[in-house]
Amino acid sequence: MSVQWITMALRTVKSESFRNIIIHPATTRTIEETVYQEWRELDQLLLQFWTTHSVHPHLGYRVGKPGGMDLSDCASDLLPELTRRGLVDLVEDPH
């Protein structure tokens, strides 16, 4: 799923009962500028969810996956406002 798809899907959520969102970024080392813009839009939407509904965002990652992104290095690029405020956590995906 693309970042744009995730953003659009979250905008259609009607329930206010969820408290966590886990997003698993694509495992690639390079991200095009257009995709960065999509991440910035998602960052703002997740910040709004945090502010209005206390929804806690997480970035999921797989340990030792070849060719994967090191999320500790790029989380601040993908979700700059959430990272700056300390509102996003990195979580290991066991699968």
Q: Establish if 53 belongs to a structural domain.
A: yes
What residues contact residue 24 under an 8 Å CB cut-off, 6+ apart?
59, 60, 61, 93
Q: Establish if 68 belongs to a structural domain.
A: yes
Residue 88: domain span: 21-92
Q: Where are the alpha helices (DSSP H) in the chain?
A: 3-11, 33-53, 71-78, 80-84
Q: Establish if 78 belongs to a structural domain.
A: yes
Residue 62: other Cβ atoms inside 10 A: 13
Tens place of pLDDT for every residue, the chain, 95 residues?
688 898 999 889 877 677 888 887 765 556 677 788 899 999 999 999 999 888 899 888 766 655 555 566 678 888 999 999 999 888 887 65
Q: Are residues 63 and 92 in contact, defined by beta-carbon separation less than 8 angstroms?
A: yes
Q: Establish if 80 belongs to a structural domain.
A: yes
Cα–Cα distance, 7 to 3 (Å, whole number): 6
Q: How many domains are there within the chain? A: 1
Q: Establish if 4 belongs to a structural domain.
A: no
Q: Establish if 57 belongs to a structural domain.
A: yes
Give the C-alpha distances (Å, rounded to integers) separating 13 from 18, 21, 44, 49, 80: 10, 12, 16, 11, 23
pTM listed for this prediction:
0.79
